[in-house]
Structure 1
Amino acid sequence: MKKVTMADVAKLANVSKSTVSQYLNKRYEYMSEETRKRIARAIEELGYQPNIIARSLKQKTTATIGVIVFNILHMLTIQVLHAIEEACQERGFHVIVSNSDDDPEKEKKYIDMLLAKQVDGLIVFTTGKNEDVYQRLVEERFPLVFVDRMVPGVEADAILLDNKRAAALAVEYLASHGYERIGAVAPPLASHVVPRMERIEGFRQALTEKGLPVIADYFVTAEISSIQRELAKLFASGRPPEALFAINDLTLMKILHFVKNNGIHVPDDLALISIDDVPFADIYTPTLTTIAQPTFAMGKKAAERLFMQIVRKQKHKPQIFRFPPTLIERKSVRQRGNNNDGRR
């Protein structure tokens, strides 16, 4: 069967090959709506399939970007990916997603694989490591954007939540409801994992500013698989916290398992507030007070910054974009006493 060519499409649509080429590349500026419809009908009637490889070689682009995430299960990851994919679809770009499992070696292998596939740029939810690899990409002016985390020493665009403000919102809200003994639950702290460090630092600062005690035992920082065990030790101590702040959705899940398995009632026995507005927050009993990240806006900005670099092909001044958190008030925190500054 004879292969359908662009010339065949042009002939059937009664336009030039260059007009068909402009249509395929979504350059519609000087093309009438009728011409676009004729070309679309011709492509459908002939079953024309553009030669992607040939177009890539000619245009020196694969119309593909790579996205590397450190944990595909994070709600933040899923929601930001959706926004990135939508932005890429609008521009006719494809997305290749890889999951590093927060392993720097896997991250490096995925970078090498995606570069070998000649992607036009990378959006990376980085492990915070591989500084030499990213530094080389920056020096070569390869389009690069970090999301949620950064790599110390590497000057590249980064899209982050205002993490300290998010933690402060949690403390301020709990304090306004009369809570004094407030704990925080997080994965192990590491200097290269920016959100964890910033959220815990913001949490400590907010407690101090509110005149509330900063109790070392109330900081549960453990591997996700060990959080329930560490919480059991804390609550067996005889003076457990009145409220817990979960720094992300995965730690929240472990807290919810813990309270269910131990007959702890929320919010009567323990108040809960977390960063990441999980989908079940408004159907869980009681509904969960959360601090939402503007995930769609973050994903859209990440794509915009990447495409800006792809189009301009020149050195630009990297920027760090901090997005404001939003507290969503539900029922996992109740009013205690009459004092609204957190001290009773």
Structure 2
Amino acid sequence: MADVAKHAGVSKSTVSQYLNKRYDYMGVKTKARIESAISELGYQPNIVARSLKQKSTQTIGVIVANILHSFSTQVIRAIEDYCHEHDFHLIVCNADDNPEKEKKYIEMLLAKQVDGLIVFPTGGNLDLYKKMKDGDYPLVFMDRVMEEVEVPTVQLNNEKASDLAVTYLAEKGYSSIAMLTTSLKQKPSSRVDRIKGFKQSHKKNKLVLKEEWIKSVDVEEMQDTLREMFNTSSKPDAILASNDLSLIEVLKFVKESGLSMPEDLAVIGIDRVSFADLYSPTLSYIAQPTFEMGRKAASIIINKVKNNDTGDEMVYLYEPDLIPGESC
């Protein structure tokens, strides 16, 4: 920085002002001289030294439970957009719904001194979450509530999402409705709440609920589970896929079984998928406001980092929307 200052004929503090984009009282010619000096000398600011001085790395870590979900990638994009607007960098890690992997990533990001974390919690690291919370470390949960740890959480009204789907099917005349969701091994609140909403909506719409038609399994087991469910005389006439990965497996099963939608089976999913309008027939689904949710999580964490403030709310609940298609 001293070399740049000497080359440009300005003080080190003026170069520092330039590097930190504080141009309010800086002349156009001064800015041009500093820019030219930086270019000629090939100067690159020392990010580590700057972070030590400012006590901030200007970096946020994001740990997603499973990056294969379209919800995850859309939320990450929104977080990245917001962070970019506020001059923060992003490090994204994928936990694969594995608590051990999540723990390693949390420890790695803390060691890299990221300013805060946005976590889609697996639910398997309560002690670590509590330790960060007790240490007043900037932390936000996305998609899943952890009742044991009071951390600002951004999530969908998952019970209502299932209710919208079941009510829509009931209004269309379907009465035998199944549900397929990914594993409940770690009991993620989003999946638990969607099942709860599915059951409550059956009661509200005076439908007969069949517990054996509610399936929570790993993606690899879904085809066998669907074949078993439909290899009986009493079959569902509609199915709710509780997320995009479940929906893909249902569509695969429909195609391989030679079924027609909605004549043989009505299908509706939760989560916005890019191919919904391109698929034939077009798909009905329940959409999450992913970009609004991602921006909210980013705004909370950056406000906490900058101002040590997260606001008064603990849970930021977003409402789902029904997008009707031809699949039911």
Percent of aligned pairs with the same residue?
51
Pair 17,255 (structure 1): closer, same or farther in 2 beyond 3 Å: same
Contact 1:191–1:197, Cα closer than 8 Å, also in 2: no
Query: How many angstroms apart in 1 are the aligned matches of 2:137 and 2:244?
Result: 32
Provide the secondary structure at the position in 2 that maps to 1:280. Answer: coil
Structure 2 match to 1:252: 247
Provide the secondary structure at the position in 2 that maps to 1:137. Answer: helix
Contact 1:188–1:221, Cα closer than 8 Å, also in 2: yes
Amino acid in structure 1 at the alignment position of 2:70: M
Pair 315,188 (structure 1): closer, same or farther in 2 beyond 3 Å: closer
Q: CA deviation at 1:150?
A: 2.5
Residue pairs, 1:273-312, within 5 angstroms: 273-312=268-307
Pick from 201, 204, 207 the counterpart of residue 206 of structure 1.
201
Provide the secondary structure at the position in 2 that maps to 1:264. Answer: coil
TM-score by length of 2: 0.93
Structure 1 match to 2:142: 147
Q: What are the superposed Cα offsets for residues 108-151 of structure 1, whole Å, 9 maximum, x if unpaired?
A: 11111111111111110110121111111111110000001122
Matched, 1:72 2:67: yes
Q: Tell which deviates more after alignment, 316-325 or 146-155.
A: 316-325
Q: Tell which deviates more after alignment, 313-322 or 98-107.
A: 313-322
Contact 1:134–1:154, Cα closer than 8 Å, also in 2: yes
Structure 1 match to 2:155: 160
Q: CA deviation at 1:217?
A: 2.3
Pair 206,158 (structure 1): closer, same or farther in 2 beyond 3 Å: same
Contact 1:152–1:192, Cα closer than 8 Å, also in 2: no
Provide the secondary structure at the position in 2 that maps to 1:228. Answer: helix
Number of equivalences: 328
Pair 13,87 (structure 1): closer, same or farther in 2 beyond 3 Å: farther
Matched, 1:239 2:231: no
TM-score by length of 1: 0.89
Q: CA deviation at 1:316?
A: 6.1
Pair 276,44 (structure 1): closer, same or farther in 2 beyond 3 Å: farther
Pair 228,43 (structure 1): closer, same or farther in 2 beyond 3 Å: same
- Taking only aligned residues, the RMSD between alpha carbons, in angstroms, comes to 2.0
Residue pairs, 1:218-237, within 5 angstroms: 218-237=213-232
Pair 32,140 (structure 1): closer, same or farther in 2 beyond 3 Å: farther
Contact 2:152–2:310, Cα closer than 8 Å, also in 1: no
Structure 2 match to 1:58: 53
Q: What are the superposed Cα offsets for residues 76-126 of structure 1, whole Å, 9 maximum, x if unpaired?
A: 111111111111122222211111111111111111111111111111011
Q: CA deviation at 1:52?
A: 0.6
Provide the secondary structure at the position in 2 that maps to 1:152. Answer: coil
Q: CA deviation at 1:290?
A: 1.1
Amino acid in structure 1 at the alignment position of 2:123: G
Provide the secondary structure at the position in 2 that maps to 1:211. Answer: coil
Query: How many angstroms apart in 2 are the aligned matches of 1:217 and 1:26?
Result: 61
Q: CA deviation at 1:11?
A: 5.0
Gaps of 5+ in 1: 1-5, 334-344
Query: How many angstroms apart in 1 are the aligned matches of 2:110 and 2:19?
Result: 25
Query: How many angstroms apart in 1 are the aligned matches of 2:219 and 2:198?
Result: 20
Residue pairs, 1:94-243, within 5 angstroms: 94-190=89-185, 192-243=187-238
Gaps of 5+ in 2: none
Structure 2 match to 1:23: 18
Provide the secondary structure at the position in 1 that maps to 2:184. Answer: coil
Query: How many angstroms apart in 1 are the aligned matches of 2:323 and 2:309?
Result: 41
Contact 2:4–2:37, Cα closer than 8 Å, also in 1: yes
